[in-house]
Structure 1
């Protein structure tokens, strides 16, 4: 069983992904990482969401940032969104993540703040013990 699933919408998000994975490694938390886009490969993403046994998702996305919301709409497990500063200073991604409709909860950390996403995921895991 893996603790955390880290998903980025694009390989170009690697700088944020690297910080998330580094923090998870430092804390000794098990994880798996995939690049899956809500727009470019939604079928693969849906299959991954249903097949993984991860307890928490970290979704890293820029621009329209549909990734965290799509994941949250397909699972009851916690989802943490990390907005990426691809355009508009990341405000577009931030607003996309925090403005989820009722019934689709997504936690959101600051723009490009993968460290806090990792720490929040770890706290969620520890609270369930």
Structure 2
């Protein structure tokens, strides 16, 4: 995360990681104020996928991507301009330094995308993700039944 204020976005995904039993690490480092710390974290990390949460100028995902060939998932944060400034900063990467970008404030989707990447080589994790999707489906079906009964004529 670029700052501790981004923790509320990270927490959306942390609970999913815990439920899935996946090891993770959460760090705070600014692309502009502590670029040396960002480099140290990325270079010394054993992570297979990075999630970079950033608002305002939102350069953290791009800086992380410039330091590794591992996948980087960007989470733009709503701060100014309804988060569109951060979204565009995350999406508009130069050739050769890609990042995947999820929706504004969607730390949960970033984690799910990272888990899908990891599940490519982890059958147990793949099954957990299938079960997660099944629960999402059941939730919608149950909502449909409830709403259908409320407004039945």
From 31, 44, 56, the counterpart of 1:63: 56
Structure 1 runs of 4+ aligned residues shifted over 4 Å read none
Greater share of strand: 1
The TM-score, its normalising length taken from structure 2, stands at: 0.78
From 94, 106, 110, the counterpart of 1:113: 106
Alignment of 1:128 with 2:121, yes or no, is: yes
Deviations 1:43-81 (A, max 9, x none): 011011000111000000001100000000110000000
Alignment of 1:90 with 2:76, yes or no, is: no
Unaligned regions of 5+ residues in structure 2, if any? 123-153
RMSD: 0.8
Highest Rg: 1 or 2? 2
Unaligned regions of 5+ residues in structure 1, if any? 1-7
Taking CA–CA contacts closer than 8 Å with sequence separation of 6 or more, which of the two structures ends up with the larger relative contact order?
1
- Cα distance in structure 1, aligned partners of 2:68 and 2:4: 24
Secondary structure (helix, strand or coil) at the match of 1:59 reads: strand
How many residues of Structure 1 are paired with residues of Structure 2 in the alignment?
122
